[in-house]
Structure 1
Amino acid sequence: MLPHDFDFQTSLNQAPVLADYNSFTTHAALQQAVKAYGGGWAMELGAAFGAVMGSRQMIQAGELANKYGPVLKTHDRFGNRLDVVAYHPAYHEMMTVAIRYGFHSIAWTELPGAYVAHSLLAYLKQQIDEGSSCPLTMTFAAVPSLKIAGDIAKEWLPLVLSNTYDERHLPYFEKKGVTFGMAMTEPQGGSDVRANISFAVPAGDGSYKITGRKWFCSAPMSDAFLVLAQTTKGLSCFLVPRFTPTGEKNKLYFQRLKDKLGNKSNASAEVEFHAAWGKMIGEEGRGVASIMEMVRHTRLDCAVGSAATLQRALTEVVHHCHHRSAFGKKLIAQPLMKNVVADLCLESEAATTLAMRLALGFDEALQNEEALYFTRIATAIGKFWNTKRAVLALGEAVECLGGNGYVEESILPRLYRDVPVNAIWEGSGNIQALDVLRSVHKEPRSLEALMNYYTKAQGLDPRLDKQLEQLQQLLAQPTHLEYNARAIIEKMALAMQAIELIRIAPAPIAQAFCQARLSADRNITWGALAPETPMDDIIQRIYQAPA
């Protein structure tokens, strides 16, 4: 019985708030992947950034920026067009810190393992806020497309690669640093951008006047956007700044902000172009080719971001289970809960490893042609799989906290709403699967590079060999390739995860993954690992909770 003077205002058996921890040094699997894939020199950077991202201040910034979302101001009080979006100061705080650490720029430093270092920063940043990671990723990803046009690159890249965040709404040439957005899709086409009807006509001075409507314009306060529009020669790519080179407000008119499921801190707008000033990037009529490098780089961050969001959720789960007791002992000591958590952590390690392996591919592609072809197809595979699995795993993570995970004071509901955007942005699951098939048909060297990768892994594990045999059987049915596309991508992704875990993770972890994900008797539900699985070791590699 409780004493008569018991204070009912104090809750018992509740976990303390998880804050002021280092999101890098507590994550052994991420540290191992960064080292194994050439980013060892960035370990100190990761530890410094992990301390910032795990701080109470940054966690609170993520909460505030999502609670008090962006607001569109179309006109001033006199009726003049403004077309500006106001953000909570916490949004700018996160942008400032991430840009200072080089989230958007470190990949372009030409250091060995620079993409792995970028993906490390993106991973840690994503965990506090999905929304502000969007303009950071697009700014990073715009670089290869901008490089296609030498004159544009010369003018814009010094500002793009600046590690100073400048939130002021000014012409780009008056700023200390800029960010980029993109506007590709239209109401009638969505992912089918060749159905776009926005058009561009020459202005007579090397620039174009662009007219049309875009259904999704990400990060509308960016200083410039990559935009697709039709010309007489077909769909072309254009740089469209917020201000023209003469300093006048460009004719971009934002109609409204999308009311989205998640990603609340980031503004996504519908926009109209009324003969807006633009400059062509790349060859006329080959706009998709010009913008695809940006798309491929954003897909890398989607794969990284989903792995990051899953791991962030699991830190809350592991933290909760170390503090909460039920039926006489801590949740982490309850066999069934431990099985569920370990299974989710196994998924998390596989996703993190796959994401960092993709980053390694981008680094290797700078020097090796086969790596370039491998990475083109592997990125679509990794983007498909990581983003799909994270959506499913987040639902289970919420359930691990029970009612505490379902209330808005917890971070879990926000993570749960945020994570589907990575599966949709830059092409949903079907688009990724069709892109892989397109590579099979139109870029056979990509499939050849992928199959060489698999061939070198034969013999590592009999369950992996069986998976690769089944993959070959599916690929040998040309008339059914599109029907089987998702099954094909699933086997490709699982095989990649198994190969990389066998190569860099402790043997018991890799064995547990092959048994749980590749064996013929594998279970669909979470928490069905074999009793002999090293569950404590698996959990500790995702989040090392204080003793």
Structure 2
Amino acid sequence: MTQSDTHTTPQPHVTHTVLNQSAPRRDINEYELNTVLREAVRRHDGGWADDELREIGALVGSEQFQHDAHLANTITPELHTHDRWGNRIDEVEYHPAYHRIIAASIAHGSHTRCWADPQPGSHVVRAAGFMMFGQIEPGHACPVSMTHAVIPSLELQPDVAAQWVPKALSRSYSPDLSADKQSAIFGMSMTEKQGGSDVRANTTVAKPVGGGGPGAEYLLTGHKWFCSAPMSDAFLVLAQAEGPAGEGLSCFLLPRVLPDGTRNVFRIQRLKNKLGNKSNASSEIELDGTVAVMIGEPGRGVRTIIEMVAQTRLDCVLGSASGMRQSVAEAVWHARHRAAFGATLADQPAMAAVLADLSLESEAATVTAIRLARAHDEDADDQERAFRRLATAVAKYWICKRGPHHSYEALECLGGNGYTEDFPLAMRYREQPVMAVWEGSGNVIALDVLRAMTREPESVAAFDAEISLARGSSRILDTHLDSLRDHLGELARLDAASAQRRARSVVESMALALEASLLVRFSPAPVADAFIAARLGEDRKFEYGALPDGADLSAILERH
């Protein structure tokens, strides 16, 4: 036998048999699995929409919807300033998956269902649907939120509202820019590069076409530093009005397409290269003799658009809470399907403590978010309106700030998998900070709380009445509530500079008091007791998973 007649037969060992990986978390119902959300919806008069919310839960939990969410965040929007022949078009192209997602969200009323069908619990039902869609794909929630939030501001100008509100209420969606559309998506653009949150420093000028005034046409010229969702059909913008009808910072409705079908001047200069929120295009825009209509009184632009801001701030809370739910759901699912050192991760005491602590944070955020949504319903009395004025800002500050670290800790529960873009928690980690930045970063919100307490003292009384409903249930909580009352009294006596230095500390105490009191009233005792001990107790720690001895981890995790 010659050497050429011999050969070695390959003897491969099977290296790609997949063992000990968590099962795919797909084709599940996100509403039926979310005990905390379901309880909150029913508790706050939204149970009449259970079937509708269950339908949304099945949709967003489907493999196809999850795949579309992945596509929308990896094949990101692309700006086309000109067509092939050199015509200026200022269009943003999205992957079809994005359009499928926002079309489904609009079809289920995530934008304006509470305005279209006002009744007790309408805001609650809208919030729950909005949260479930945003839990899986958060970027599209930006234009959905702005379309929801624009209604109260538009209604300040009845003639304009008569034209635009029916379009905003429509449950149909078309990405085309057309004057013939019977539906509309709204955006907003307030900030400019020289001012940021100081919108009164804006330099965009609005010159009247005729006599000017509310409902009249103006021509706007200026540069807007942030304009989210630039392919929306119309925008609320701020500009410095000129002319005999009145001057000063005013609010305007700016359509992308004019009634005769021509494009308004809306030059998209560039898309922002953002840390997260990738599926949603944010842009800088140039206005140059751009047609717009005044909404509200001249010089009262902030007061007009603040109606929209109040609603979008609530949606920041809803968005952060839904992000926490995604983080907990993915982390707990992984830990229940993966083993190490002889037991599933969820049964390892150290991991169980982390998961339970993350779950406490998520439950507190969800319970607070839905309570706030109920306070925004049309049947709210004066005390409810006063409560929501202060509580929305307090919750926006705290819950949105808790989001980024919460998502990081959940990501770590998945180990290396969590750090890859193949799993959704990398996207969520990049997404959570935007909720804290959008509609007022931390200092802006904290100062707004001070402003509310000074100008609307009834809001402090309403907030105190709400958190005091839990008095007598916990010595630790009662001590915190007493201390908070003392701090609020001291704050009222301080000069402006000293009050500002104390603002963050006081708002944090207010937020924890609100969350703890709601958990005492609405969640099982093991949840409320563990949260209070971990967040308000003398032995509280900084990192998730350092829960006090005696915390009932199993009872907490059963709900998640």
Quote how far apart the aligned CAs of 1:308 are: 0.5
From 25, 29, 53, the counterpart of 2:32: 25
Per the TM alignment, residue 81 of structure 1 is displaced from its structure 2 partner at its CA by 0.7
Larger RCO (CA under 8 A, 6+ residues apart): 1
2:226 corresponds to which letter in structure 1? F
Task: Provide closer, same or farther for how the CA distance between residues 409 and 367 of structure 1 changes in structure 2, counting only shifts above 3 A.
Answer: closer
1:158 aligns with 2:171: no
Cα distance 1:454–1:530, how it changes in 2: closer, same or farther (>3 A)?
A: closer
- Name 2:509's counterpart in structure 1: 491
Residue number in structure 1 paired with 2:297: 283
Please list the CA deviations of residues 42-92 of structure 1 after superposition, one character each: whole Å capped at 9, or x if unmatched. Answer: 221111100001000111111000110111111112221101111000000
Structure 2 SS opposite 1:484: helix
SS in structure 2 opposite 1:482?
A: helix
Residue 541 of structure 1 aligns to a residue whose secondary structure is coil
Query: Relative to structure 2, which stretch is displaced further, 303-312 or 205-214?
Result: 205-214
* Contact 1:19 1:55 (8 Å CA) reproduced: yes
Q: Are 2:539 and 2:548, in contact at CA under 8 Å, matched by a contact in 1?
A: no
In structure 2, stretches of 5+ residues that fail to align are: 1-10
Q: How does 1:277-316 map to 2 (within 5 A)?
A: 277-316=291-330
**Higher mean Cα deviation, 299-308 or 514-523?**
514-523
Structure 2 contact 540–548 (Cα < 8 Å) conserved: no
1:363-419 deviation per Cα after TM superposition (whole angstroms, max 9, x unaligned): 2x6440121111011111111111111111111111111111111111111010011
Which structure's CA Rg is the greater one? 2
Q: In structure 1, give the amino acid aligned to 2:200.
A: R
Q: Retained in 2: the 8 A contact 1:165–1:176?
A: no
Q: After TM superposition, give the deviation of residue 255 of structure 1 in Å.
A: 0.3
User: Which residue in the other structure is 2:259 paired with?
Assistant: 245
The answer to whether the 8 A contact 2:189-2:238 is kept is yes
**2:366 corresponds to 1:352:** yes
Counterpart residue type for residue 389 of structure 1: R
**1:94 Cα deviation (Å)?**
0.3
Change (3 A) 1:6 1:258: same
Secondary structure in 1 matching 2:325? helix
Give the structure-1-normalised TM-score. Answer: 0.96
Name the amino acid aligned to 1:473.
D
On the 8 A contact 1:474/1:481 being kept in 2, the answer is no
CA contact (8 A) 1:303 1:422 kept: yes
Q: 1:38 matched to which residue of 2?
A: 45
Match of 1:68 in 2: 75
- Write the deviation string for residues 156-207 of structure 1: whole angstroms up to 9, x where unpaired: 1111000111111212xx1131100001000001011011010101101621
Hey, what does 1:267 align to over in structure 2? 281
Structure 1 residue 5, shift from structure 2 partner = 6.7
Match of 1:55 in 2: 62
**CA shift for structure 1 position 266:** 0.4
Q: How many angstroms does 1:455 deviate by?
A: 3.7
Residue of structure 2 in register with 1:138 after alignment: 146
Q: Secondary structure of the equivalent of 1:315?
A: helix
Deviations 1:281-300 (A, max 9, x none): 11110100100111110111
CA contact (8 A) 1:300 1:383 kept: yes
For structure 1, the residue ranges without an aligned partner over 5 or more in a row are 543-547
| Aligned counterpart in structure 2 of residue 473 of structure 1, from 465, 481, 486 | 486
RMSD: 1.3
Tell me, in whole angstroms, the C-alpha distance in 2 between the residues paired with 1:169 and 1:187.
27
- Give distance in 2, aligned partners of 1:524 and 1:12: 35
The residue that corresponds to 1:96 in the other structure is: 103
Could you say which residue in structure 1 is the equivalent of 2:519? 501
CA distance in 1, matches of 2:177, 2:304: 28
Separation of aligned partners in 2, 1:539 and 1:280? 52
Partner of residue 229 from structure 1, selected from 232, 236, 239: 239
Instruction: Check conservation: 1:366, 1:372, Cα contact below 8 A.
Output: no
2:538 is aligned to 520
Distance 2:101 2:37 in 1: 22
> 1:484 and 1:441 mapped to 2: Cα distance?
15
Contact 2:30 2:132 survives alignment (8 Å) = yes
CA distance in 2 between partners of 1:294 and 1:258 (Å): 23
More deviation in 528-537 or 385-394?
528-537
Q: Which runs of 4+ in 1 moved over 3 A?
A: 454-457
Identity of aligned residues (%): 47
1:201 aligned residue (186, 207, 218): 207
The corresponding residue for 1:110 is 118
TM-score by length of structure 2 reads 0.94
1:217 counterpart residue number: 227
